[in-house]
Amino acid sequence: MNSVEILKEEILKAQKNGDIASLYVLERRAHEVFDEDTLGSYYANILDLALERLTDTLESHRAMDMEEVQDFATLRALYEYAIENYSAGKISDASALFEVLSGLSNSNEFSDALKIHALASEKDISLDNFIDNIADLDATSEAGTFYISCFKTKEAQKLLENSQIDGE
């Protein structure tokens, strides 16, 4: 069996087991081997699994645990989907996802960061403006999070204050 067949078998096994974390581990290899269409399907499968886990989590009335590998991978997949919507100009969809995600995790840091994402998108701030004027990508990179976790203090504070004034 060649390396592509082995990779496909590993991906199929991970998908069958609902193992989002393993799919992220295989991601680099998938990028080396697959064309754009196949990669699109690969990420669609990750998203489908993440949405299933989201539904299960909501139905069981529990918070996702950032220390649990499948919950972590699920939050990452859903965050990436929200950012994809934000980037595509589907700001209201992104805003709704950010709002759900902000209440989905047991991590206060994640929840607080996603609240700022939700507020920015609710205010119709484009992703480019959010990144340029509110997010602190250097600090986020140093923090090593999969999500934008650090913000320019003054701009983020203004956003929070404006939302309180507006009664949000």
Are the CB atoms for 21 and 70 separated by under 8 Å? yes
Q: How far is CA 21 from CA 5, 96, 157, 164, in A?
A: 20, 24, 34, 37
What is the model's pLDDT at position 157? 85
If one counts the domains in the chain, the total is 1
What is the model's pLDDT at position 133? 93
Residue 122 lies in a domain: yes
What is the model's pLDDT at position 161? 82
Residue 34 lies in a domain: no
C-alpha closest to that of 47 among 23, 16, 67, 11:
23
Residue 102 lies in a domain: yes
Integer Cα distance of 24 and 36 in angstroms: 17
Q: What is the pLDDT of residues 108-165, one digit of tens each?
A: 999 999 999 999 999 999 999 999 999 999 999 999 999 999 999 888 888 888 777 6
Residue 116 lies in a domain: yes
Residue 37 lies in a domain: no
Are the CB atoms for 126 and 111 separated by under 8 Å? no
Q: What is the pLDDT of residues 42-95, one digit of tens each?
A: 999 999 999 999 999 999 999 999 999 999 999 999 999 999 999 999 999 999
Residue 19 lies in a domain: no
Residue 167 pLDDT > 60, yes or no?
Answer: no
Residue 57 lies in a domain: no
Are the CB atoms for 134 and 125 separated by under 8 Å? yes
Residue 137 lies in a domain: yes
Structural domain span for residue 161: 94-167
Are the CB atoms for 34 and 42 separated by under 8 Å? yes
